[in-house]
Every structure is written in structure tokens, then in C-alpha cells.
Structure 1
Amino acid sequence: MASAKILVLSALVASSTASLAPLHYKTIPLGSVQPKGWIYDQLVVQMNGLAGHEHEFYELVSDTDWIGGDAFYSVLEEAGSYWFDGLIPSAVLTNNEPIKKKTLEFLNYVLDNQDESGWLGPEVNTTKPRYLWGRYPFFFGAIQLLEVDPSLTEPIVDAMHKFVALAHEMLVNGEGVDKWAATRWEDFVVVLQWLHDNHPRGQEELLVDTMKYLKWTGIPWEQVFSEELFPKSAVENLTNPFEELAWHGVNMAEGLKALGATYRFTHNDSDLEAASVGWDLVFQYHGRPSGIFAADEMLAGLEANRGTELCLVVETMLSGTFLYMVSEDSKYADRVERITYNALPATLTGDMWGRQYLQQQNQISAMNMTPNPFPSDGPESNIFGLEPNYPCCTVAFPKGWPKFVSSAFMVTPDLESLAQIYLGPFETSTVLAGDNHVTVTVDTQYPFGDVLTTTIVAEKAFLYKIRIPSWVENGTIAVNDAAAEGVTPEKGLQYVNVGAGTTVLVLDLPAAVIIEARPHSAVALQRGPLHYAYDIPRTEHVLAVDPHEHRAIDLQMEPAGQWAWAIDPNTAVFRKDGLGTALPSPIFDFGRPPVSLRVQACPVDWPLAGDIFAAPPPENATCTGPERTISLTPYGATKLRVSEFPTFESSIIVEEEMNYAFIEQQP
């Protein structure tokens, strides 16, 4: 079977073109986009937390493993590559010189120890088989270092081309593909496409051939994401027609970009269409109001007590950004923004010294769950700590925030236009076509506030674009103190012809409260990019302290108050009592966000499923006590929460006017 597949592929490769379809947008070099305001604080908190210190004590990425010892090679397989890829942008965007130095040491050690054959890793002069996948995150990191320091271009590109020649030979011979490489081949394709776009060195045909071999020796994502074969519910009782890891959540999160990457070398619009269909299927059948989808190892359906892995969160963010660059479809950027401002912070402690393996939409405790709601993961998967369940999320999560920041602004390939794709407080400096030096500063408390004030300084006129999210209602833009006018986006982007000199744009992007239908007749509430949840008061208990770092703890959380509420969603009123002043740090923790939804609620009988996790929301719930007004807070700040509620009809008349919209279940 394998040899037949190779023969078919060889025929396809022989008839292929060595060109790539152009991107609609490109990111600009790392460091060209800087975080401001609360997002800068978020990155500082992350670097003061586990991300900035784990190399000092965590054995999987301890710096002793790559300085003067053979253990370095083992971390290159996964942990070290993940750490390297995430810590480079984190260090650059916070100007953390010690971490910059560590990442450069890692890079130099890897390059200095590349085997003559081109291989990177320990599988030299041993009987250990050589598999390709663990090197892909390393290349992502190396590309970022090259962007920051162009003097590194030659050694990095030399090493990449040497490795590609070997990888191509291995793939032709049916080597190098284990079950992980078979599902994550798209990451290497994206690396190869960067090399093709920027430093091909006359090897375009080899690069495209390698892309094709990767695709056709890997999981057929066009079939996995087809309407016919895609699983429409939690998969533990379903028969998988593909290899087991095709339904693995993180693999699927990475695989979401596979057909976008395929389109670039096939030039077939059907690949972009299939990518769009797959994206929608994932969120229709497994999506969460927090923006992400559920997979507690494998795809987990729609139940609110099932889990979502932290690695899945950051990989979906990266896939959505790539798909936007390839397709210019704003639905990808809309969802990435929702995930970033909800699902990412929700699964980290406020100080970012602890992370979960799995988060839940309705998460009434974070502790050992026996019986266990997660069919394929351990009962401690939702505890906050250094390494609950598997270690991958400890080293992978740091890339979420900084890569989001780095992708906030993009340029068109001809450098004629600059676009703000993600909304928030950022600053960028870049050079557009015609040696046009442009600086853009965005002053805002978005997503907590609706107003963005953007100051643009340009040497020459150019076309500026700003993404207008799909949830905006009655948005306006004012240019240089002129009267505000309604936004008129094209493909989700507002176009502004900016002249030379200084231009000031004021965007007001209000939104209605969205009532989202969920299973069991439950509802979830959204406003703008933020999803809202009841933040359950909690008690905390330290389960373990790392012997080498007292701040690295395993933290159990238990509810310290009522959580079993039904709500009348039609009574929700948006409040912004704390806006206009400096936001607290860290912003994503109990009681910190300056905005809320007030809603009428009443206590109901809501049983447990097992001893310590919530059953599905009760249908036709009856109040067991008097109704009251409760406050819902942005989901990302909650660590214990209810966000999918049963409903009742309140007897209270809400005097404040509010716009509402109702949407069916995802997407």
C-alpha cells in the first residue's frame, strides 16, 4: 500500500508546477508590532510567570540540557522546539534580554550540531528511527530569530535547505513519517512555503515536491473534514475511518490549516473551499461559546462539562491566522480574536504560574475528578499547575499571546497597504512600497471597551485597512475630527485612504448582546468578542510545590458559593463601570474586568454528574428560591464558572434598554 501511494505521488510530482499561489496578506517581521496597554502587561505577566522561568528548573527544557550535554537532542523532539518557538516572540516583545540570550544559545547549539547528512536530532549513529515532526516548531522559532536579527539569515537558511534535501530523500524512500508526522505535515509545508517565498535559492521545484510528498504521505485532511466523514458528536463510541490521531484535538487544530497550505501549491480553489467547510464543521459539532472547540484528547462534542486542551487553543489560533492570510475570509480572524480573549486566558491562572491541561465551559471545580468526565485524559486534567496530565501544554502555551500580537498587523504582498487584522492596543512601524515609513499607534481598552483611537504617521499616502468584526452593530469611524460616519467594510475590512503626515481615526464598534443556543435548551451570552460567565467564588488548596521553584504549584480550586443558576437571558444588561481608568493587572482574574452583564437569575436543582462536576444543564428548570440579579464576567477571567445556563422567565421588568440577537448553535 505504501509503495503504491509513493508511485501515485511520484506521478503527481512529475506533473506539478513549482510556483505557489500568492498570499492575500503577510505578517511583518517579529518586533515590528509591539503590544501596548493591557496586552503589554499581559505579556509581562506571562514572562514573570511560568513561561519566563521554566527553563531554570523544568527538566524538559532546563538549559543544562542543551549546554554541554547530549540531553539537548531529546528536547529537540518536542519540548525544546515548543519552548524555543514560544519564548522567542515573548522575549522580543517584552525586551527580555536573558531569555533572548537563552534562545540564541539554543539556536546556535542546534545549528552547530547538525549532522553532515542534514539531520537535526539524536538519531545519528544509533538504532533510533528518525521522524520528522519535532523539528517543525524549531524552524518556526528560527524564522522568528532571523526576522529579528538578519545577520542570522545565512546560517539558518543554510541549515534549513540542508535539512529539506534530506527530508525529501527520506519521504521519497517512505521514511520519516510516524503517526505524529502523518497528522502534522502541514506545519512543515508552511515552513517550506516561507523558504520558497523568501529564500528559495533556486530550489523551488524541490521545495514544492517536498510539500507534495508530505501531504500525500500524511492524513488526508480533505476527507477528515468532509461532511460525509466528519464526526458529528463525541468520538469515543464512534469508529474512526482514519488513523486514530486524525480525531486528536491538537492534531485537528493544526490540521485546520492543511488545506489552506495545500491550496498554495495546487492552486485549486476547491482546497480553500474544503478548508472553509472543515472549519465550520469543527465548530458546528464541537464548538464552544468561548470560541474554541472541545477535545479532551479526542473530539468531544458539545457537552459543557467536556474538556478543551490548552495546546489546542494556541494551535487553533495559529491555524486561523494562516487561513486568513491565504483566503482573506474574516470569519477566521473573528474566531481567532474570540479564542484569544476568552479561551486562552481562561485556562491559565491570573499570574500565569499555573495552567490547565483541559478547560470546561461549565467548570464548577478544578480538582481530581473521580469518576472522570474525560474518556482519554486523567482525572486531574483541569487542575491548575506545572504539569497536570501531559507536559506539552507547559512548553506550548507561551506562544499564544505573543504570536497573536505579532499577527495583529499585516501587509499586502505588494506592500501597498497595511491592515490591522486583530483589534487591541498595539503599535507598529513598517516600511511600505516606495520607501514609505509608517507608524501606527492604537490606543484602546478593547475588547473591554468599544472605542479605538488610531494615530497614523506616514511619509506618503497609502491605503489603510481595519478589520470590522462581524458582531459590530452600528459601528462608526471618524477621520481627523470629521463627523463620524457608519463603517462600510468590504470583506470585513474598512478602507481608509491615508495621506502623508498625521491621521487620527476614531472607531466606535458597539455590539448587541448575543443569546446563543446550546444543548439541553441552555443558552450562552456574548457581547462583542467577549463571552460571559458566572464567576464562581472559590477556595484554593495547594496540592504540590515544585522542589526547585516555590512559585510552581499545583492548585486545586473548589466552589465557595452558589453556582446552580438559571437565567432569563432577555434581561441581560451590559455594564462598563470600570472603563476609562487603568485596567488592573492581571486583568484576567476574579473581579478584575471592568465590564459585566447583569442578568436576572434564580437558583435551580442542578445535579452533579459524578461527585464534583456539573451534569448537563437541566431542561425545564424550576426556581427553588427567589430570583435575584447576578453579574456575569468575561469568561477569560473565570477559573471556576458556569457559562451555559438553563433558562426561566423572569417576573422583573428591566428598565434599561438593550439590543439582543439570537443565534442558533455554532458556527
Structure 2
Amino acid sequence: MMKNRLLLTLFILCAWSGLAQKAQYQGNKAPLAPLKYIELPLGAVKPQGWLRQQLEVMKKGATGHLDEYFPKVQNDNGWLGGKGDAWEETPYWLDGAVPLAYLLEDKTLTQKVQKYIDWTLSTQRPNGFFGPLTNEERKGKSISSCEQGADWWPRMVMLKVLQQYYTATKDARVIPFMTKYFHYQLQSIKACPLNKWTDWARARGGDNIMSAYWLYNQTGDKSLLELADILYQQTTPWTQYMAERNWVMQASANQTGESWMDRHAVNVGMGIKLPAIYYQSQKTDYYLKAMSQGWKDIMTLHGLPHGMFSGDEDLHGNEPSQGVELCAIVETMFSLENVLGITGDPMYAQALERMTYNALPTQTTDDYISRQYFQTANQVEVRRGTYDFSLPFYRGMNNVFGPYAGYTCCTSNMHQGWTKFVSHLWYATPENGLASLLYGPSSIKANVGNSVEVTINESTNYPFEDQINFELQSAKAVTFPWEFRIPEWCQEATISINGKEFKKGKAGEIVKIQRQWQNGDKITLHFPSEVRTSVWAHNSRVVEKGPLVYALKIEEEWNKKEIKEEGTFYEILPKSAWNFGIPTSVAEKPSKFLQVTTKGMPQGYVWNAQNAPIEIKLSAKQIPAWIINNDGVARIPVTTRDGFYQGAVDNKEQTITLIPYGCSKLRVVAFPLIK
């Protein structure tokens, strides 16, 4: 009898232990491959410091008020049952506005976006289709077959919105709604394939697969895996393109109309995650190798100093005078955030931080109302013109700042960049721990170990400083693993706990610390960074320190103008010299010749030239022949393999000032070398 009781007790203890170790957050269900890192629910991470200020600016600007002034979203909106926007622009806006509302816990914005969600959830058709009224429905007919439906693409965006909303609210309507829609899609997708209405859905089918896998992890409905396989076959073959490598090379030369959707930078930004997304069901290295090699090839052939690949709108090589579309940046960020969770490869975190802290902030104004359709790396003027872009656009508005300049997709889509980045500063781990893979001022509330809730405050001015401080708050001691990424540019990092050095970390490593953490524990990361130079197009040099690249500070003259078709916009002209070359001695020994000055964080908005927290000064000389041509382009002079520019250079040395690229509007970031 005693033996039976003992066995029963052991069984109960083992069962309790198994339950205690159950994952705190939903990862992948079998047969999908386990995730390396698991996304946290929307709202678990909150912005602090300058990141919160960034989001507050967005709330006061376009993200919080787009529906009040942008005609496409404001007027008779199709996503509220009207005859207005029935395609991508409203879902695009919600894809950033919904997370912003919950990240800031803003009641006004939450109520504003809720009406779109409620309308969408409450107007699903009996067969599962959802969204704005179709042409047939406007004639009074019901949707009896998929042919009477509408484009798959905008629904993919709204599904992303609903996923985020569900993780924040657990609204019981979302899961059956998505289940019914995906059953409809499975029944319809062969008769009405992704490209039936537009090629956008074909190019961006990876987002559809991603949502199907997400729902499978909630419900275990295996028909979703069948749907994903069909969608993969109908989607642009990004995996094949990235694995076989010819595509990315041909894109450097082909700027014709042939297969241009396969070179469209926004499609590429979305498509690059497809190998990693589909790897989850296939579980073979082919997909991860395709992802890794493809990303490296894109950045080798089309990469620019700010961390993003060219795309104006096509992929367009690595000249610093080529453009980058704002939509492409935010979509690539989102892709890398997902790929990082699936693969755990710190290469993607490094790439994500670089483009976020350099390319992203420079393309919007301080009030977050106006934006550029295309930015350029070496941007010494901003005005109407055709430039070197593959899409000149007949009104010449692709380079100016304005609410609607160029195409308005970016007016609606730019909002997801900062919001989703904040949400992905932290990940959960399958071992019921946490991972700090990206860095910025924030706080997190999460369950770890044996279901113990902890709050961690991350105090830092990163990327403008090299120290990050964490403080853990917990009602009791808790054992869990905590992982930290060491950036590639940091040769040796120091991790201290409660004021004592605990561990060193090498460049590019993920350091895991498994221990019993106590309430009040303080962890400090120190990432020493040296000023350095890197080589880019035409043997030019870029100055870098930590996660930031630095650009010439140019005095600016802003001119407000207006055209009937696109409203007000801003041109920016240079008021100071910009055509400088830097000496080879600086490139060879930057720490000897570059003077770094830390000014401290400003009281106001950080991403402008006046408030730049860091400056770097150096001696340089002007290159008289380096001028702006008639198309508004300042093509960089070639530095030959002999080591320097061969043309005439002024004898007079001048001290120039560099600021973080993200703080600039006019700039030179890639400099020719001179003697």
C-alpha cells in the first residue's frame, strides 16, 4: 500500500513538473519546426526613453490622425462599408496604428482603430469571405463563388492586423473568423489562384502562409498546412531565386518591364522571408541556406551604407545615388523580425538594427506627417526631378518630402516600422526564458521559469551610447535563461551583474546566462565601439561607430511648395559645401584622426541635425569637379584601386562635421578617398 502511494506521489510530481515546464508562450506546434525565439504578445514590450518619444510623435502625427485628413482613408472608407478605399491603404495604416495604440495604451487611438476591426469581424460573409463590398455585392448579389470575390492581397494585410490585435486582447471572435476565412480560401484557391486579380498577391503570398501557420499554432487545424502548401506553389518562387542566385545578379542589369514585379523592392522586402517561413513545414537546410545566401547576395550587389538595399522601385545596384522606397524599408524590417525568430541567426538582428537606426528615421519629418517616397544615401539636395531612379514618375515627386509625394502607399504603410520594431526588441525562448536580441529603451512584462511574472526595465540611450542597463523586478526568485546578442562591431562585450563583471562576450555571439534571478538584480551590458571605416561603391569610405553610420552635416534651406495633384511638399537645398573627399590616412587609422564628441541626448526629438547627440569631426578637402548634374544627381567620383581619387583636389584642408545618418536630410555618407 505504501509502495503504491509512493508511486502515485512520484507520478503526480512528475506530471506537475511537466506542466511547470510547459512553454509560457505559443511557439510552433508539430509538425512545424520549433522556433528558435517566440514572439511576445502585443503590449508585453513597452517603449521608454527616446523610443517612447518617437511613438508619441507618431501618435500626434500621421499614425494617430491619418483617417482625419488622408482622402483615401477618410472618405467613405470601404473597410467601414463605404465606396472608398477597399484595397491596401486602410489595412496598411491599421498595421501600424493598432500596435501603436496598444504600445502606448492610448484609449483614443484604441477606440479609433476598434471600429475598423469590429466592422471587419462582424461583416464576414456566410462562406468566409471578408472585407469591403465587391462589385457583385454592390449590384445586390451575394458571393456564391470565389470568382465574385476580390483580390487576396489586402486581406493578407488585414490578417496581420487581426493577429496583433488578438495577442493584445484575446478577442474571442478572431480565431473562428480566421478559421472560416482560411477554409474558404482552401476551397477557392485552385479556382481563384493568388494572381487572379493582381500579381501583388502572388508576390506577397508568404504573408498569407505566415498567417495560416500562426492560426495553425492556435488551433491545430491541419487543413491550414495543406493551404500553406498550395499557397507556396502559387507564390513568386523567392526561395528558388535566392538559392540559385542568378535572379539577384540579373536584377542589377535588367531595368526593363520584363518580370519587374520580381525586382520590385517592396515585393523583395516581403518575399525574402519566404524561405524561412516555409522551412517551418519542410525542415530541411535548403530553405535556411537559400535565405542566408540570398540575403548576403542582395546586400552585396544592392546594399547601401544605411543598411537597406536599393529599390527605386526596382532593385538598382549599390550606387549611393540610387533610391530606397520607404515601404521597402518597413517591410524588410518586418521580414527580418520574423526570420530572426525562426532561425535565431544573429546576422538578421544585426541587419535589422542597422537599417532601423540609419535608413528608417531619415525618411520622415519631425512631425511624422511628410515623408519621402525615395531617399538616397548621398543626398545633397531634395527637389522635384527624375534623378537616377528606375521609376522617374512623370511629376518628378519621388524625392521630395510630402504627405502624398510619389505614390501614397508609403503614406499608409510607414507606420508599422517603429511599432513592430519595439514589439520585437524582446523574444521569449522555448526554455521559458527571454532573449534580448535588439536593443533600445524599453520595458517588458513576461512570464518566465515556472510561470513567474517578471518586469524588466531596459534603460539606455542606445544606439547613441554603448551601455545598456537592465533591472529585474519579481515577486520571488526565479530561475530562467536570459540570452543577449553581442553586436558584430563589438570585439568584446562585458556583462556585469549587480556591479560585478560576470561574463565576456565575443562579436556576433549569443550569450546565454542561466541562473536564479532575484528581485532587484541589475544587469549591465557594455559594448565598447571604436570609430571605423568601411568600403562601399567605387572604393568609397563610410565612417561608422557602433550601430550608426555617419554622414556629412550640410546646412539646409527648406522651401515649401504645392502642386494640385499631390498637395504641399518640401524641397531642401544645400547652404554649405558638400563635395568633400577624406584623406587615405583617415580611412587607414580612423581612431587617430577622427574626433568623436558626445553632446548628450536632447530634450526634444532626436532624429534631426540640430539635436544629433553625437558629432565626429575630421579634416577633408573639396573636390571641385564633384557637382550636381542636371538630373539632380551627385554621382560619386571613383577612387581607383591605387587608393585615391585621381582628379584635382583643393589644397586647403577644412574641418567637417559628421552626424548620425538618421539625423540627416541632406548628407554625404560615402566619401571618395584623396591623398
TM-score by length of 1: 0.88
Alignment of 1:71 with 2:83, yes or no, is: yes
Match of 2:458 in 1: 442
Match of 1:556 in 2: 571
The residue identity in structure 2 corresponding to 1:221 is W
User: Contact 1:43 / 1:401 at 8 angstroms: preserved in 2?
Assistant: yes
The residue identity in structure 2 corresponding to 1:116 is P
Cα displacement (A) at 1:158: 1.3
Aligned counterpart in structure 2 of residue 100 of structure 1, from 110, 114, 120: 110
Match of 2:19 in 1: none
Matched residues in 2 for 1:68 and 1:412: separation?
39
Cα displacement (A) at 1:124: 6.0
Matched residues in 1 for 2:598 and 2:509: separation?
34
Q: Equivalent residues in 2 for 1:387-466 (5 A)?
A: 387-414=404-431, 416-458=432-474, 459=476, 460-466=478-484
User: Contact 2:549 / 2:660 at 8 angstroms: preserved in 1?
Assistant: yes
User: Contact 1:130 / 1:176 at 8 angstroms: preserved in 2?
Assistant: no
Cα displacement (A) at 1:68: 6.2
Q: Equivalent residues in 2 for 1:136-151 (5 A)?
A: 136-150=156-170
Match of 2:613 in 1: 594
**1:600-641 deviation digits (Å, cap 9, x = unpaired):** 211112032324221223431432241122111000010111
Alignment of 1:85 with 2:95, yes or no, is: yes
In structure 2, do the counterparts of structure 1 residues 334 and 493 end up closer, same or farther at CA, with 3 Å as the change threshold? farther
In structure 2, do the counterparts of structure 1 residues 592 and 334 end up closer, same or farther at CA, with 3 Å as the change threshold? same
**1:327-368 deviation digits (Å, cap 9, x = unpaired):** 110000011011110100011112222100001001111111
In structure 2, do the counterparts of structure 1 residues 48 and 625 end up closer, same or farther at CA, with 3 Å as the change threshold? farther
User: Contact 2:488 / 2:507 at 8 angstroms: preserved in 1?
Assistant: no
Secondary structure of the residue aligned to 2:415 is helix
Matched residues in 1 for 2:292 and 2:403: separation?
36
Greater mean alpha carbon deviation, residues 77-86 or residues 512-521: 512-521
How big is the alpha-carbon RMSD for the aligned residues of Structure 1 and Structure 2? Answer: 2.3
Aligned counterpart in structure 2 of residue 584 of structure 1, from 583, 588, 603: 603
The residue identity in structure 2 corresponding to 1:43 is L
Secondary structure of the residue aligned to 2:418 is helix
User: Contact 2:580 / 2:621 at 8 angstroms: preserved in 1?
Assistant: yes
Cα displacement (A) at 1:227: 4.4
Matched residues in 2 for 1:18 and 1:87: separation?
33
Aligned counterpart in structure 1 of residue 371 of structure 2, from 331, 334, 355: 355
Alignment of 1:199 with 2:223, yes or no, is: no
Matched residues in 2 for 1:22 and 1:547: separation?
50
User: Contact 2:479 / 2:514 at 8 angstroms: preserved in 1?
Assistant: no
Match of 2:242 in 1: 225
- Identity %, equivalent residues: 28
Match of 1:57 in 2: 69
Gaps of 5+ in 2: 1-28, 138-146, 640-644
**1:214-235 deviation digits (Å, cap 9, x = unpaired):** 1101211122213441233764
Cα displacement (A) at 1:444: 0.7
Secondary structure of the residue aligned to 2:46 is strand
Cα displacement (A) at 1:116: 1.5
Matched residues in 2 for 1:426 and 1:496: separation?
22
Matched residues in 2 for 1:277 and 1:381: separation?
31
Greater mean alpha carbon deviation, residues 167-176 or residues 376-385: 167-176
Cα displacement (A) at 1:528: 1.1
**1:344-393 deviation digits (Å, cap 9, x = unpaired):** 001111222210000100111111115x3212242221101111111110
Match of 1:130 in 2: 150
Alignment of 1:575 with 2:587, yes or no, is: no
Greater mean alpha carbon deviation, residues 494-503 or residues 555-564: 494-503
In structure 2, do the counterparts of structure 1 residues 261 and 611 end up closer, same or farther at CA, with 3 Å as the change threshold? closer
Aligned counterpart in structure 2 of residue 630 of structure 1, from 631, 635, 656: 656
Aligned counterpart in structure 2 of residue 543 of structure 1, from 561, 564, 587: 561
In structure 2, do the counterparts of structure 1 residues 301 and 489 end up closer, same or farther at CA, with 3 Å as the change threshold? closer
Cα displacement (A) at 1:429: 0.6
Secondary structure of the residue aligned to 1:440 is strand
In structure 2, do the counterparts of structure 1 residues 186 and 394 end up closer, same or farther at CA, with 3 Å as the change threshold? same
Cα displacement (A) at 1:395: 0.6
Match of 1:13 in 2: none
In structure 2, do the counterparts of structure 1 residues 316 and 365 end up closer, same or farther at CA, with 3 Å as the change threshold? same
Matched residues in 2 for 1:21 and 1:176: separation?
26
Aligned counterpart in structure 1 of residue 327 of structure 2, from 311, 318, 323: 311
The residue identity in structure 2 corresponding to 1:476 is T
Match of 1:7 in 2: none
**Residue-pair matches, total:** 618
Greater mean alpha carbon deviation, residues 275-284 or residues 62-71: 62-71
User: Contact 1:66 / 1:106 at 8 angstroms: preserved in 2?
Assistant: no
Secondary structure of the residue aligned to 1:318 is helix
User: Contact 1:36 / 1:426 at 8 angstroms: preserved in 2?
Assistant: yes
Cα displacement (A) at 1:399: 0.8
Cα displacement (A) at 1:449: 0.5
User: Contact 2:129 / 2:149 at 8 angstroms: preserved in 1?
Assistant: no
Match of 1:295 in 2: 311
In structure 2, do the counterparts of structure 1 residues 494 and 545 end up closer, same or farther at CA, with 3 Å as the change threshold? farther
Aligned counterpart in structure 2 of residue 264 of structure 1, from 280, 289, 303: 280
Greater mean alpha carbon deviation, residues 520-529 or residues 487-496: 487-496
Alignment of 1:170 with 2:188, yes or no, is: yes
Secondary structure of the residue aligned to 2:247 is coil
Cα displacement (A) at 1:305: 0.8
Matched residues in 2 for 1:98 and 1:537: separation?
39
Bigger Cα Rg: 2
Matched residues in 2 for 1:540 and 1:282: separation?
34
Cα displacement (A) at 1:553: 4.0
The residue identity in structure 2 corresponding to 1:535 is K
User: Contact 2:255 / 2:314 at 8 angstroms: preserved in 1?
Assistant: no
Matched residues in 2 for 1:78 and 1:68: separation?
14
The residue identity in structure 2 corresponding to 1:577 is T
Misfit runs of 4+, over 4 Å: 66-69, 126-129, 233-236, 238-241, 488-491, 545-548
User: Contact 2:151 / 2:201 at 8 angstroms: preserved in 1?
Assistant: yes
Match of 1:208 in 2: 225
User: Contact 1:314 / 1:400 at 8 angstroms: preserved in 2?
Assistant: yes
Cα displacement (A) at 1:104: 0.7
Cα displacement (A) at 1:435: 1.5
User: Contact 2:40 / 2:427 at 8 angstroms: preserved in 1?
Assistant: yes
Cα displacement (A) at 1:236: 5.9
Cα displacement (A) at 1:240: 8.4
User: Contact 2:42 / 2:423 at 8 angstroms: preserved in 1?
Assistant: yes
Match of 2:294 in 1: 278
Secondary structure of the residue aligned to 2:267 is helix
User: Contact 2:486 / 2:508 at 8 angstroms: preserved in 1?
Assistant: no
The residue identity in structure 2 corresponding to 1:556 is E
TM-score by length of 2: 0.87
**1:128-170 deviation digits (Å, cap 9, x = unpaired):** 66221111111111111112212x1x21111111110111122
Match of 1:652 in 2: none
Matched residues in 2 for 1:124 and 1:238: separation?
35
User: Contact 1:230 / 1:281 at 8 angstroms: preserved in 2?
Assistant: no
The residue identity in structure 2 corresponding to 1:505 is I
Match of 2:208 in 1: 188
In structure 2, do the counterparts of structure 1 residues 484 and 343 end up closer, same or farther at CA, with 3 Å as the change threshold? same
Gaps of 5+ in 1: 1-16, 650-667
**1:481-505 deviation digits (Å, cap 9, x = unpaired):** 2146532578433535342322111
Secondary structure of the residue aligned to 1:352 is coil
